[in-house]
Structure 1
Amino acid sequence: MSIGLFTQVSSALAEPITSPKTCRVGIFVTSLRNFKFADKSFRADFRVWSVCPSKDLKPLESMQVIDTIESEEVDYQTQNKPNRTESFATKGDVYWSQRDVSAVLNQNWNIQNYPFDRHTLKIVLEESIQDVNGFVYTPDFKNSGYQQDMSLGGWKITDFTLQEEKSAYQTTFGDPELMNKKGIYSRLTVSIPIQRVKYISFFKLTAGLYVAFAVAMLSFFYETGQPSLVSARTSLLVGCLFAALVNMRAPESVLGRTESLTLVDQIHIVAIVYIFVAALATVLSRLMNERGQGKQAMWFDRRLLFRVLTISFIVLNAIVISHAAIVG
């Protein structure tokens, strides 16, 4: 029995270890658009190609785009081409295939530091049939890239990388040839960092808030010695507070819901607190007038609170905005 076992082990060791088949695969991105923060998605148009040493290898047919919401693939074609590269040992013809793809991809946008946010868009292509023992991608670094003059609508591309990775799943998907409990497949990952270069949308979202704060600060020039002016000052501050609260909901339609405090949220919260402090100051100023301290109340409103609240609000805004711009 030991002799038979030794024979089986020797036979297994004698079998040649074959390397997986491969094709040179590249991608060229022609369009990036529809950056939707609320829907957590973006659209990419790109052309993907493969150069294979044999006709039986067809990676574009078994390739899938990972993490897509929807995709459309068109113009698949294969041509025989003479091999003038050093990618393959064969000196005969190689098989060049192309496919155009338009896909809507999931994107987890981090808008905490909006409008100074930076993101990395990813396009992931994966072999869906043969595991890494049978086939792997060889990235075509030289020819892959993106259209330099594409319009990104207020964004700019800061880099482009392409790398081959191995993706492991805790299943073989029922493949009877795989003996392990997990399947490992070759994938190509395209990473495209982008950075915002236009900030008009930020000013649109915060302009109403800043106006409400400015009006609230002007309320300090209403004398609280006259009941009619106290009522007008109180009504003005209530209107400013309501405007700030309503304006705080506006970014959700543009940026989507998030559980973290964004820069826009921080600015709104600070402004709401300051307006509420101005309302409390109105009550205190009125009480001072009722005690016959009218001049002190006027000094308290116009010389102290107006200056302290206005300057500190500007300083706090400069701090949080500068921090967001640095962190990105």
Structure 2
Amino acid sequence: MGSIHGAVCAQDQPAENTIIEVGMWVSDIKGVDLASSSFNMDFYLLFEFNPSEISLDQVRKFTIVNIAIIDIDLSINEVEANEQEGVLIYQVIGAFTKNFDIQRYPFETHTLEIIIEYSGFNSSFVSYKVGSKIKVDESVNIAGWELGDYKTEISEKAYFDNSYSRFIFGIDISRPWLSGIIKNILPLAIFAVMAMLAFLVPIEESGQRLALVSVILLSTITFHFALLSGLPPRDYLTFSDKIMLVLDLVFLYILTAVAYIMYLQTKKKDVDLMTINKRALEILIVLFAILLVGLIISF
């Protein structure tokens, strides 16, 4: 995990229970990349302090904990430093890491976090406090995502026998439901309906029925791999994976039923193929309904 420290100067320790108020103005968010578990953010970081309790150089001792190691374009610029008024402002532009939970993909919600840790003295001497100047610019917009509420909190991180204060800013983002349905669910639903239509193809054209289902199955698998290309490695099934599992079972049933009817037709068995075909379709509808209910419950 990457980290960036402020300038460190040899100073006397500050007074005990010193408070630094932290403010933040988010001016841009972009580049939410699930595959690399990172996102880009541009923000201003404000520290307000009592100069009689702590020096400016001591306030500069901070770490941005979750900066991406690969970020070679990171920029942390000191915009304003006024020790008499107790104000220190930085502009930060960079990529930050986030362990995205994609179990509900493509309908998941994430919290993009920025974690600021004071690295000069332990929390018995210096602690962060959420300041009054927290804002997300109205112009912030992330393509393909909806912005939710932001939240802030103060916590402590222990290292051996010492604990250090942390300021955590988080903003929720979620995928639009309509977009997720149109881009991810609708194509799979169309594939499923097309596969079911195989039962409406005349029984005499059994070879075409089998070819139709086979082509749709391959198309569905290709579509699924395209979806997976933008996701990070994981050890669990996403909601999209569960949908694919349902479709795989449906396609397996259709292939089996079509192949069995084709076998009966080839062997010229004295059976009513139309009745078998109708029963197979009825069983498919019941099977699909049961799997669909299970899928909804798992969500």
Q: TM-score, normalised by structure 2?
A: 0.82
Deviation, 1:311, is 6.0
Partner residue in 1 for 2:94? 103
Determine if contact 1:59/1:127 at 8 Å carries over to the other structure: no
For 2:198, the equivalent position in structure 1 comes to: 219
- Provide the rounded CA distance (Å) in 2 between the counterparts of 1:308 and 1:59: 73
User: Do 1:155 and 1:198's aligned partners in 2 also have CA atoms closer than 8 Å?
Assistant: no
CA contact (8 A) 1:205 1:247 kept: no
The match for 2:33 among 36, 41, 44 is 36
2:163 to 171, 179, 184: 184
SS in 2 for 1:67: coil
SS of the aligned residue for 2:32 comes to strand
CA offset at residue 106 of structure 1? 0.9
* Counterparts of 1:97 and 1:156, CA distance in 2: 32
1:97 Cα shift? 1.6
* 2:63 counterpart residue number: 64
Deviation string for 1:126-145 (max 9, x for gaps)? 112222233222321x2113
| Partner Cα separation in structure 2 for residue 134 and residue 262 of structure 1 | 45
Letter in 1 for 2:210: T
Residue equivalent to 1:305: 280
Q: Could you tell me which amino acid in structure 2 is paired with residue 20 of structure 1? A: N
> What letter matches 1:254 in structure 2?
G
Tell me how far 1:284 sits from its aligned partner.
2.5
Tell me how far apart the structure 2 counterparts of residues 132 and 281 of structure 1 sit (CA, whole Å).
68
Letter in 2 for 1:48: L
What is the CA distance between 1:277 and its match in structure 2?
0.9
What's the CA shift for 1:36?
0.7
1:34–1:311 Cα change, 3 Å: farther
Deviations 1:239-281 (A, max 9, x none): 2222222222111112333221111111111111111111111
Question: Separation in 1 of the partners of 2:183 and 2:289?
Answer: 18
1:131 maps to which residue?
A: 122
Hey, what does 1:176 align to over in structure 2?
Answer: none
Per the alignment, do residues 96 and 74 of structure 1 end up closer, same or farther by CA in structure 2, a change over 3 Å counting?
same
Q: Which residue of 2 aligns with 1:257?
A: 233
Once the two structures are superposed, the pairs formed by residues 163-202 of structure 1 within 5 Å of their partners are 163-170=153-160, 182-202=161-181
Q: Equivalents in 2 of 1:42, 1:153: separation in Å?
A: 12
Q: Residue 305 and residue 135 in structure 1: after superposition, are their counterparts in 2 closer, same or farther (change >3 A)?
A: same
- C-alpha change, 1:286 and 1:139, in structure 2 (3 Å) is closer
Do 1:43 and 1:105's aligned partners in 2 also have CA atoms closer than 8 Å? yes
Normalising by structure 1, what TM-score?
A: 0.75
2:258 alignment partner in structure 1: 282
Q: Does 1:204 align with 2:179?
A: no
The letter of the residue matching 2:62 is: M
Report the identity percentage: 21
How far apart, in 2, do the equivalents of 1:123 and 1:231 lie?
58
Separation in structure 1 between the aligned mates of residue 220 and residue 174 of structure 2, nearest angstrom: 29
Q: Which of 162, 169, 182 is matched with 2:152 structurally?
A: 162
Partner amino acid, structure 1, of 2:234: T
Amino acid across the alignment from 1:292:
D
Q: Return the match for 2:135 from 141, 145, 159.
A: 145
Note if contact 1:48-1:101 (Cα within 8 Å) is conserved in structure 2: yes
**Residue 49 of structure 2 aligns with which residue?**
52
2:21, 2:286 → 1: CA distance?
A: 61
Q: 1:258 aligns to what SS in structure 2?
A: coil
Give the match for residue 10 of structure 2.
Answer: none
Q: Distance in 1 between matches of 2:289 and 2:39?
A: 35
* 8 A contact 1:21–1:136 mirrored in 2: yes
Q: Distance in 2 between matches of 1:316 and 1:252?
A: 22
Structure 1 portions without partners, runs of 5+:
1-17, 81-92, 171-181
In the alignment, is the contact (CA less than 8 A) between 1:50 and 1:59 conserved in 2? no
User: Which consecutive residues of structure 2, in runs of 5 or more, have no partner in the other structure?
Assistant: 1-14
Query: In 2, distance between residues paired with 1:59 and 1:194?
Result: 34
- 1:22 deviation in Å? 2.8
Say if 1:49 and 1:60, in contact at 8 Å, map to a contact too: no
